[in-house]
Structure formats: structure tokens, C-alpha cells
């Protein structure tokens, strides 16, 4: 069974640029959630995708957007990067179906904005 | 809104000593509770979860946690800590309305030889 994978591992961008992060969900999972973890803090929920539709969103501006594909993999896009967007971005997959479920995390993408 | 508090930012214990990490939550309905562990620069690994039933739950790596509704707590315990347990530990709660995890700020565990 393949776990959750994310790419790239590290990324350096300049303020104002755009970035796309990728996530492959665990086999059998239909839901992907994205979290932002700033240094020294707990992860913060960005949004969740279930069957290719956004299924909940945290307190993040519209320049954070996402996609989920038919194979349940997902992308996180961030436009107009700001210095405060520097963080570890974590993707988690789960099998949603009528109730809460465990989320399994990937290793994360470390984004640095200069 | 739901919230999770981990009162201890740092904890240092000697190898072989017992461990208890505290977690308090604020949530109106029955919470679904989790403990995750994160090694430096890594993603989060699920240690254990509580959904319902027995309030003492067993997890991986010899960890256990006890749900106490009267105290709104879900403390993590381990009887004998190993040096490899040094990491950051996060308590989290999920609402039944969605599948969004709300995390505490984390507790960094250091283990002395």
C-alpha cells in the first residue's frame, strides 16, 4: 500500500510569484485535505477536496486554491506569494464516508518565500 | 468554534521515565480526538484516535490516551520513554460536521539519556 506522497520536497519562490504543490493520496482514499504549518506552530486547515469538489475551507484568502483529480490526487495553488506564506504545507488523505475518519499525512513541502 | 490547548510547550524527561502530555479541547458535541507525532522536518504520524467507546485507547509505539469528558481532556501517556520518542506531539480534534482537523500548538518532547 502506497502512502501519501507530496512534491516537491522543498521550494524557494519570490514574493508575488505563484506556486503549485502536488499530493498523491493513499490508495483507497477519496478525500484530500491541505494544511499550512508555520514554524513552531500546529498545522492550520486550508481546505478539503472530496470527489473533486471543495468540501470545506479554513480561514485562508482566495489566492489559495486547489484541485482534485479523478484519481483523487490534488494540487494546492497559491497566487501572489507573500513572505508569510513561508511554511510547511501538508497534505492528508482520508476515506470519507458518512462520518469522521482518520487522516494520513504526507511528508510535506517546505515553501520559502523571499 | 472548536479549539485545542496543549499547555506544555516543552517537556524534558529522562529515558525510561514515564510521560504524560496534556491536551484540553473545547467543543460542544462529542469530539473525535487524535494524537499525532512529528519528527523534525517530517509529516505527521497518527499515534492513536478516540471516536467512541472505551475511554482508554491504545496506540502505536506503546502510547495510550484517556478521554475524560468531565475535564475536556485527552492526555497522552507512555510508561517508559525511549530516546527515539523525542519529537513534537500534536493533539487534534475533528468535528462531525466536517472532516477538518483543529490542532493544538504542540508539545516538544526532549529525552535525556
The model's pLDDT over B16-63, given as tens digits with 9 standing for 90+, comes to 999 999 999 987 777 899 999 999 878 899 999 998 888 999 999 999
**Choosing among B51, B99, B108, which should be mutated to test the A contact, i.e. which has the most A CBs within 10 A?**
B99
CB pairs under 8 A between A and B: 65
Q: What is the reported pLDDT for B10?
A: 97
B72: DSSP letter: T
Res B97: pLDDT: 61
Q: Are A33 and A94 in contact (CB under 8 A)?
A: yes
Interchain contact A42–B (C-beta under 8 A) = yes
Q: Which of B29, B89, B83 is nearest to B65 (CA)?
A: B89
| Distance (Å, whole) CA B35 – CA A57 | 22
User: Among residues A19, A21, A30, A25, which one has the least CA distance to residue A2?
Assistant: A25
Q: Which three cell numbers stand for residue A15?
A: 514574493
Residue (of B47, B52, B28) closest to B89 by Cα position = B47
CA–CA separation, B78 and B21 (whole Å):
9
Residues of A in contact with B94 (CB under 8 A): 100
Partners of B100 on chain A (C-beta within 8 Å) are: 33, 45, 48, 56, 58
Q: What is the pLDDT of residue A1?
A: 57
Distance from CA of A107 to the nearest CA of B (A): 4
Nearest to B101 among A31, A55, A103 (CB): A103
Give me the residue from A6, A31, A110 closest to B99, CB to CB. Answer: A31
pLDDT at residue B52, as a whole number: 85
What pLDDT shows up at residue B5?
A: 96
List chain A pLDDT tens, one digit each, 114 residues. Answer: 579 999 999 999 999 999 999 999 998 899 999 999 999 999 999 999 998 999 899 999 999 999 999 999 999 999 999 999 999 999 999 987 767 788 999 999 999 999
Residues of B whose CB is below 8 A from A107: 42-43
**C-beta of residue A30 within 8 angstroms of C-beta of residue A50:** yes
- SS3 state at B79: coil
Give pLDDT, residue A43: 96
Q: How far apart are CA A49 and CA B98, in angstroms?
A: 11
The beta-carbon neighbor of A45 closest among B96, B100, B104 is: B100
Is the preceding peptide bond at B77 cis, omega within 30 degrees of 0?
Answer: no
Half-sphere exposure of B39 (CA within 13 A, CB side): 8
Amino acid at each position: 500500500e502506497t502512502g501519501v506522497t507530496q512534491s516537491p520536497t522543498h521550494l524557494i519562490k519570490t514574493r508575488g510569484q505563484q506556486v503549485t504543490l502536488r499530493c498523491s493520496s493513499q490508495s483507497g482514499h477519496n478525500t484530500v485535505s491541505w494544511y499550512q504549518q508555520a514554524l513552531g506552530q500546529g498545522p492550520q486547515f486550508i481546505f478539503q477536496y472530496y470527489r473533486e469538489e471543495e468540501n470545506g475551507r479554513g480561514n485562508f484568502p482566495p489566492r489559495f486554491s486547489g484541485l482534485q483529480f479523478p484519481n483523487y490526487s490534488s494540487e494546492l495553488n497559491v497566487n501572489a506569494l507573500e513572505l508569510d506564506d513561508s511554511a510547511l504545507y501538508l497534505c492528508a488523505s482520508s476515506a470519507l464516508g458518512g462520518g469522521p475518519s482518520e487522516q494520513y499525512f504526507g511528508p510535506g513541502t517546505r515553501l520559502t518565500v523571499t | 468554534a472548536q479549539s485545542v490547548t496543549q499547555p506544555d510547550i516543552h517537556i524534558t524527561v529522562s529515558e525510561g521515565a514515564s510521560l504524560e502530555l496534556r491536551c484540553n479541547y473545547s467543543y460542544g458535541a462529542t469530539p473525535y480526538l487524535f494524537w499525532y507525532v512529528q519528527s523534525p522536518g517530517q509529516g505527521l504520524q497518527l499515534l492513536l484516535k478516540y471516536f467512541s467507546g472505551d475511554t482508554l485507547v491504545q496506540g502505536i509505539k506503546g502510547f495510550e490516551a484517556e478521554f475524560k469528558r468531565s475535564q475536556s481532556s485527552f492526555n497522552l501517556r507512555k510508561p517508559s520513554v525511549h530516546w527515539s520518542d523525542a519529537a513534537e506531539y500534536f493533539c487534534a480534534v475533528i468535528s462531525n460536521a466536517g472532516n477538518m482537523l483543529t490542532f493544538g500548538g504542540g508539545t516538544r518532547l526532549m529525552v535525556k539519556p
